[in-house]
Amino acid sequence: MERIGPLLLVEGRNKSKVPFSRSLYINCQDKVLIDTGAEPEALVNLKLQYGVDLIINTHYHPDHTLNNHLFKDTPTWINPIEFKTARSVDSIAKLNGIYQEWGPSGVELFRKSVPKEWTENLSNISGCYQYEKEYRFGDVNVIFLHTPGHTKGFSCPYFPDLGVVFVGDYDMTTFGPWYNGTDGDIEEFISSAKRLLSLDVDTYITGHQKGVFSKQEFHEAMYRYLEIINRRDQEIESLVKKGLNFNELVRIGIFYPKESLKEPIFQTWERVGIRKHLERLNLTVPGANNEYLITS
């Protein structure tokens, strides 16, 4: 297990790739576990060996709340926005674009497909932390930066004294930035990225794949990562110029590999993502409107 001062990096399965993620364990007098997407065996071992006093979720996504259910009697906090908006299946369906794209019948199908454990993981959440406030766990200071864009409530735990920030889904993967829920926002994603780059830190820890980045590595990776947003813009713009309508656009595979678009949830996120770029580019295409867009 990699260690940075009092912080232990707990790996998730398959290099912490989605649908798993990396957890961060603060090993001081107060034992705090940030995100629960790591290997359940490793998490249970930590609990047995040192204990876990508090669980913190950076945001509500299932790969970051994955094993909340292993800590039933432990206080579990999430960010204040998602404490209000992301704790029922109906609200999750809205935040993921299910209602916007497919209406009530889609929500009904989604409800049947949600694993029992995920609802359990969300119902485990008992409170929320405040953004931008300095918390002291043992001798470790942490501030939960509000860094919206990936989701509205997304936060990055920042350890000013250690010169470390846990950037979670600013994961620097080749997939690129993810803002494909209805609560995701491209402009906010970019401005939160800039804020992360401006921090006085030596070490960035991502929630998926590579993990530990030096300041310089992270700055370079972020440049390439944000470039993917421009690439998506350009691809969509040229397809629209060729005359593709919305239903044709969403079958190309701008975000997800074409073959994975058979999966309803990927298809939904593909549609939501393309809508965001069309809006950003100020483009309208035939077939993009539906009755649920107005009511969602």
Binding residues for Zn ion, rule: CB under 5 A, are 61, 169
Smallest gap from Cβ 169 to Zn ion, in A, equals 4
Output the CA torsion 113→256→149→181 (10° steps). -30
Smallest gap from Cβ 61 to Zn ion, in A, equals 3
**H or E segment at 291?**
helix 291-295
CB-nearer residue toward Zn ion: 186 or 285: 186
CA distance 127 to 259: 40
Smallest gap from Cβ 150 to Zn ion, in A, equals 6
Q: List the structure tokens of 102.
A: 């497919």
Q: List the structure tokens of 184.
A: 């995701």
CB-nearer residue toward Zn ion: 27 or 58: 58
CB-nearer residue toward Zn ion: 96 or 203: 96
Smallest gap from Cβ 207 to Zn ion, in A, equals 8
CB-nearer residue toward Zn ion: 140 or 184: 184
Could you tell me how many helices (H) and strands (E) the chain has, helices first?
11, 13
Smallest gap from Cβ 50 to Zn ion, in A, equals 27
CA distance 124 to 287: 41
Alpha helix (H) residue ranges in 199-263: 215-241, 246-249
CB-nearer residue toward Zn ion: 128 or 156: 156
Smallest gap from Cβ 59 to Zn ion, in A, equals 6
Alpha helix (H) residue ranges in 250-290: 264-280
* DSSP codes joined into one string, 73-129: TS-EEE-HHHHHHSSSHHHHHHHTTHHHHHHHHHHHHHHHHS-HHHHHHHHT--EEP
Smallest gap from Cβ 131 to Zn ion, in A, equals 17
CB-nearer residue toward Zn ion: 25 or 170: 170
CB-nearer residue toward Zn ion: 19 or 104: 19
Residue 58, CB-side half-sphere exposure with 13 Å CA sphere: 32
Amino acid of residue 126: S
